[in-house]
């Protein structure tokens, strides 16, 4: 094995390790591979850049542009709504319509985009019609993969095969040259899913995409400012007037919790510990005669108040909502293990 072969093996092994460990993004690894091959002299400049001018690469880019255009124009949303309406209340009919539509869309656009588009539609349709979403989502994902076999642009592998055939002087493949094989695969997949649907798990998801990041209950303090309409009124009146917005837990006067009954009179500067949710928290304003003391709301960036223009360094307290993402370093660990307070204060 000569030096060039050793260098190539080292680059290949390094690339495989980076791909498996996901230490870097896939596109970054690809560029680094080309750079390494060029810098080590295994490829000259023309060979290293020839991939950017290849027909498969341009077609793949065009497919992404087409997918983005369909999504931005709303065409895919309309198609998704039609699929939801045509699926009916029968599980067999819904599976047939969804798989057919998804496979057809995957033939001309990126299958991941189609899956992402249909996911909320299928979940909502399942919930409305009392069907198990798992029995529709699994066939949908199967159809998205099988649909890429219907056209030449469905998967990059077909484009590469076509490029090699043309390079060797063989007749080029057309857009639907592989359609007969792909159609047979899609039909077989549909029949198998219908015949073996009893083997699919019966799991009904809940379409709570609108509030999956919502904090259900927040404890905070509200303050009675000098111009509040609640000054001179009783605690009972405050509770009655704000019962739809928050629940009063305790009364704080002079930085101390105060025992008070429903007839106790409210004074300027009194504070109340309340429990509310995130929607009500951000709707609290001066018109209600109360102000937030322990936290600061996020202001509208277009209509920002003077108090909201303070920098992060000047703020002492702020409430955030955060969601733990897939593969996050936070998952499965306690705040102590993460040294959360030391890192983020």
pLDDT > 90 fraction of the chain, expressed in percent and rounded? 3
Instruction: Specify the pLDDT at position 241.
Output: 82
Per-residue pLDDT of 264-303, as tens digits, reads 888 888 888 888 876 666 666 666 778 876 544 444 444 4
Distance CA(325)–CA(333), nearest Å, equals 13
3-class DSSP string for 82-120: HHHHHCCCCHHHHHHHHHHHHHHHHCCCCHHHHHHHHHH
Highest mean pLDDT among 113-117, 183-187, 211-215, 236-240: 183-187
Averaged pLDDT, 105-113: 80
* Chain-centroid distance, C-alpha 53: 33
Find the range with the poorest average confidence among 193-197, 199-203, 230-234. 199-203
Residue with tokens 């539509």: 101
Of 313 and 52, more confident: 52
Per-residue pLDDT of 79-88, as tens digits, reads 777 877 787 7
Highest mean pLDDT among 14-23, 76-85, 311-320: 14-23
Distance CA(270)–CA(221), nearest Å, equals 10
Distance CA(21)–CA(46), nearest Å, equals 31
Instruction: Specify the pLDDT at position 321.
Output: 63
Instruction: Specify the pLDDT at position 188.
Output: 93
Instruction: Specify the pLDDT at position 79.
Output: 75
Distance CA(52)–CA(254), nearest Å, equals 70
Distance CA(66)–CA(103), nearest Å, equals 16
Q: Inform me whether the pLDDT recorded for 191 exceeds 80.
A: yes
Instruction: Specify the pLDDT at position 311.
Output: 46
Q: Inform me whether the pLDDT recorded for 257 exceeds 80.
A: no
Q: Are strands 271-276 and 218-223 parallel, antiparallel or unpaired?
A: antiparallel
Distance CA(251)–CA(248), nearest Å, equals 8
Q: Inform me whether the pLDDT recorded for 320 exceeds 50.
A: yes
| Separation of first and last alpha carbons in the chain | 56
Question: What sign does the dihedral 66-68-73-79 (CA atoms) show?
Answer: positive
Per the prediction, the chain carries an average pLDDT of 77
Averaged pLDDT, 214-232: 78
Instruction: Specify the pLDDT at position 312.
Output: 45
Averaged pLDDT, 130-157: 85
Averaged pLDDT, 67-75: 72
Distance CA(298)–CA(281), nearest Å, equals 10
Predicted confidence band at 184 (pLDDT cuts at 50, 70, 90)? very high
Q: Closest Cα partner for 278 from 259, 298, 263, 264?
A: 298
- At residue 252, φ and ψ (nearest 5 deg) are -115, 125
- The 3-state DSSP class for residue 273 equals strand
Residue 107, exposed/middle/buried by CB under 10 A (0-12, 13-18, 19+)?
Answer: buried
Of 12 and 279, more confident: 12
Q: Inform me whether the pLDDT recorded for 319 exceeds 70.
A: no
Of 206 and 289, more confident: 289
Q: Inform me whether the pLDDT recorded for 125 exceeds 70.
A: yes
Angle at 341 between CA 336 and CA 343, to 5 degrees: 105
Predicted confidence band at 187 (pLDDT cuts at 50, 70, 90)? very high
Q: Closest Cα partner for 111 from 175, 67, 69, 70?
A: 67
Distance CA(191)–CA(122), nearest Å, equals 20
Q: Inform me whether the pLDDT recorded for 19 exceeds 60.
A: yes
Tell me the longest C-alpha to C-alpha distance in the chain: 95
Supply 53's token pair.
């001018």
Averaged pLDDT, 10-15: 90
Of 21 and 74, more confident: 21
Compute the half-sphere exposure of residue 309: CA atoms within 13 Å on the CB side of its CA: 5
Find the range with the poorest average confidence among 66-70, 229-233, 299-303. 299-303
């Amino acid at each position: 094995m000569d030096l060039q072969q050793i260098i190539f093996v080292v680059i290949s092994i390094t690339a495989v390790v980076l791909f498996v460990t996901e230490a870097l993004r896939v596109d970054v690894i690809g560029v680094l591979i080309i750079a390494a091959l060029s810098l080590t002299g295994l490829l000259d400049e023309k060979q290293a850049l020839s991939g950017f001018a290849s027909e498969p690469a341009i077609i793949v880019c065009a497919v992404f542009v087409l997918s983005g255009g369909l999504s931005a124009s709303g065409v895919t949303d309309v198609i998704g709504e039609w699929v939801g309406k045509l699926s009916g209340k029968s599980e067999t009919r819904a599976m047939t319509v969804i798989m057919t539509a998804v496979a057809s869309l995957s033939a001309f656009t990126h299958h991941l985009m189609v899956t992402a588009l249909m996911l909320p539609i299928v979940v909502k349709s399942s919930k409305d019609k009392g069907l198990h979403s798992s029995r529709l989502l699994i066939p949908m994902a199967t159809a998205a993969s099988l649909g890429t076999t219907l056209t030449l642009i469905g998967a990059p592998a077909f484009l590469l095969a076509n490029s090699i055939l043309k390079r060797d002087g063989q007749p080029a493949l057309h857009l639907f040259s592989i359609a007969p094989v792909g159609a047979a695969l899609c039909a077989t997949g549909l029949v198998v899913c219908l015949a073996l649907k009893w083997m699919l798990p019966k799991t009904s998801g809940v379409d709570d995409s609108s509030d999956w990041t919502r904090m259900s209950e927040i404890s905070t303090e509200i303050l009675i400012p000098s111009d509040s309409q609640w000054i001179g009124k009783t605690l009972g009146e405050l509770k009655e007037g704000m019962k739809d917005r928050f629940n009063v837990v305790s009364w704080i006067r002079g930085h101390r919790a105060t025992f008070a009954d429903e007839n106790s009179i409210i004074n300027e500067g009194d504070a109340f510990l309340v429990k509310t949710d995130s929607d009500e928290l951000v709707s609290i304003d001066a018109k209600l005669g109360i102000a937030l003391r322990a936290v600061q709301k996020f202001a509208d960036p277009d209509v920002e108040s003077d108090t909201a223009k303070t920098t992060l360094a000047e703020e002492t307290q702020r409430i955030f909502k955060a969601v733990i993402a897939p593969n996050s370093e936070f998952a499965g660990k306690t705040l102590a293990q993460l040294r959360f307070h030391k890192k983020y204060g």
